[in-house]
Structure 1
Amino acid sequence: MKKFAFMLLVLSLVIVVSACSESGKATDDVIELKLGTKMPEDTAEGKTFQYFADLVKTKSDGKLVVKVYPAEQLGKGTTQIDNMLLGSQDMYAEGATYFSDFDPNIEVSSVPYLFRDYEHYTQFNTGEMGKEIDQNLIDNGVRILNTERNFIRGPYRVLLSKKPIKSVDDLKGLKIRSFESAFYSAAYESVGAKPTVVAWTETYLGLKQNLVDAVTSPISLVWPMKFTEIAPYMTVIDEYPQDVVIAMNDEKFSSLSEELQEILIEAANEAGEKAVELTDEEVQKHLELMKTEHNIEIFEIDKQEWMDAFSDYHYQLEKQGKIPKGYVDQIKSLQ
């Protein structure tokens, strides 16, 4: 009897272990990917990242699941990029300039008035020059999934100020907030402005305390940051095109089947189209709120005047060796 009882116990354990193994196998069949962003989930961009995740799950029949971590839950931008390279997270979605450490030529995307419009910028990104940058990123372990580069941020840029800014001459002496980009700060210095680097999250306070008198921003982020409470003059400058890239650890990407790779790329490009739709809707609502609650004044500029004013600076970048010789003319010749 004891022997029989022992055999029953062994058989029970085998069945339990077998069941657990099958359960583990089923779980292992689902590949989960972590996507980190800095945008809150209730913004147009935040909704777009979830739309991307939903598309991936649907297209892969649940074999591939993207879990979105919004609002810097996984850390600041540079931390998340490091995490991605180390493999502790799989993807990070942000502006292309966040990846300029892997190729300094990415910085040209934020040089004021180097690109005529977003179409011109897309030609740069999807043409030979952009493909060279993409390869450098891949060589450094980073792959951009949205190959069409159609995830427009903005969809345009504005300058918020405490006094009206209508021409390039009005920039002279203006204390303007800059982000950490030597290219960007030097560009505004070249037309007489006084750029000051201020963290994005501290810009509202910087305006309130007169550390800066103006800030440039994608129009979609103005209302959430409440800039027009303090700086009610809005100038549509659209000084450079902005987009969001969904980047992924290339080793992880390469480990997936070709079918799953194609699904990620397809979903990322479809998400770009959705982002434009959601952002346009959001911006219209924000503009109405800013007009009714903050009584903003909006100014248009003579864009050619501003392009001419910044043109000399473009070539200074070549003379200083910050971008390759002939790079500016190569960009400007793109049709």
Structure 2
Amino acid sequence: MRMRVFMITLLMMATIMSGCGTGSTANDKKDGTNQPIVLKLGTKMPDESVEGKAFNLFADLVKEKSNGEIVVDVYPAELLGKGKTQIDNMLMGTQDMYAEGATYFDDFDSRVQVSSIPFLFRDFEHFQKYNTGELGQEVHEKIKSEGIRILNTERNFVRGPYRVLVSKKPVKSVEDLKGLKIRSFESEFYSQAYESVGANPTVVAWTETYLAMKQNLVDAATSPISLVWSMKFTEVAPYMTIIDEYPQDIVIAISEEKFSKLSKEHQDILIEAANEAGTKATQLLEQEVEEHLELMKEEHGIEIFEIDKKEWTEAFSDFHQKVEESGVFPKGYIDQIKSIE
């Protein structure tokens, strides 16, 4: 009887061990679990925006490319907090990823602020060459040393895709900026830049810009063209000038600590998906902008003007020299950027 009980016990143990073995996968052996790796991605934009759609596309690409081994959960519309808060979350380990403009990381390296200096970069291609070249890579490495890695190495996730000035009266030349009450965001460089050409910049919260123009607190505001329709700016400012004052892009960043714990295969998947999402997001954005322009023409009767880019760049060049002499950036940094071909 004892022998029989002993044999049954052995058989049960063998069955249990066998069952555990057949359920394992290559990923189980690598990560010690059959559960997917879940990454929390926080963003500022709502899901229905083009950028929001792109972030969800990024999540889909990661899941597809990893065969479900990595799942990116997207938390839109600042559900995880404001920009700086989400970056702090990443450093503390309560959040894995954040997607926004690189200027949000200026606490780690002040050089990212050059991206919002008006008329410093010739176009997006110039900006992209800066970001992917030696100067930009130095910034990437500095941010990485502080605990944050930028995944989209190609820096091809265009925001905008260009910037415009919406105004209550026509603005066709630099001369028209003199005395213009223009909305500014909280950037010393940005306000000083427009002061240097005679405008009167006033800091107004983005969400209050429509009301500020309606109540004549400001005469004009600059914006990525992709956001003008949703903010209804042309209802109160029917003149639009394509100024493309500076290029903008989105970076998808991840905690370096979290990234370093992933396998090389998984790391490569995240980078590949981020770059692919950037390409597709830009295509979606250009299509949507064309639709928005037609709507603004039909419903708000907007007039659109283009500028002489050379004239505006020359007008802001004195300000660029002041930035060069300010000591905020390394000596010769602004000139190095301008010399990029």
TM-score between both structures, scaled by the size of structure 1: 0.92
CA distance in 1, matches of 2:237, 2:140: 38
Distance (Å, rounded) in 2 between the aligned partners of 1:142 and 1:182? 25
Match of 1:56 among 62, 75, 84: 62
1:102 maps to what in 2?
Answer: 108
Distance 1:94 1:183 in 2: 20
How far has the Cα of 1:308 moved from its partner? 0.1
C-alpha deviation, 1:32, in angstroms: 0.3
Cα distance in 2 between the residues matched to 1:208 and 1:83:
37
CA RMSD of aligned residues (A): 2.1
2:172 matched to 1:183?
Answer: no
Aligned to 1:197: 203
Q: Is structure 2 residue 221 aligned with structure 1 residue 243?
A: no
Distance 1:81 1:285 in 2: 34
Choose the corresponding residue for 1:269, options 260, 271, 275.
Answer: 275
**Where in structure 2 are the equivalents of 1:65-144 lying within 5 Å?**
65-144=71-150
Find the residue that maps to 1:283 and give its secondary structure.
Answer: helix
For 1:1-335, what aligned pairs fall within 5 Å after superposition?
Answer: 29-335=35-341
Q: Deviations over 1:205-246 (max 9, x none)?
A: 211222211110000000011100111100000000000000
**Structure 1 position 73, deviation (Å):** 1.1
The 2-side partners of 1:208 and 1:139 are apart by: 45
| Aligned-partner Cα distance in 1 for 2:33–2:211 | 48
Unaligned runs of 5+ in 2: none
Q: Which runs of 4+ in 1 moved over 4 A?
A: 25-28
Q: State the alpha-carbon separation in 2 of the partners of residues 27 and 193 from structure 1.
A: 60
Identity across matched positions, percent? 70
Aligned length: 322
1:282 partner SS: helix
Q: Note the residue ranges of structure 1 that are not aligned, 5 or more in a row.
A: none
CA–CA distance in structure 2, aligned partners of residues 141 and 214 of structure 1: 39
> Structure 1 pair 99/111, CA: closer, same or farther in 2 (3 Å)?
same
Q: Secondary structure at the match of 2:250?
A: strand
* Other structure's SS at 1:35 match: strand
Structure 1 residue 29: deviation in Å?
Answer: 3.1
TM normalised by structure 2 equals 0.90
**Offset from partner CA, 1:99-127 (integer Å, 9 cap, x none):** 11111011000101101111100110001
Q: Which moved more, 1:192-201 or 1:130-139?
A: 192-201
Give, in whole Å, the separation in 2 of the partners of 1:83 and 1:175: 37
**Alpha-carbon distance change, 78 to 28 in structure 1, aligned in 2, over 3 angstroms:** farther
Query: 1:173: Cα distance to partner?
Result: 1.1
Instruction: Give 1:201 shift.
Output: 1.2
Instruction: Quote how far apart the aligned CAs of 1:27 are.
Output: 6.5
Secondary structure at the counterpart of residue 135 of structure 1:
helix
CA distance in 1, matches of 2:106, 2:124: 19
When residues 308 and 84 of structure 1 are mapped into structure 2, their CA distance, relative to the original with a 3 A threshold, is: same
The one-letter code of the counterpart of 2:107 is: D
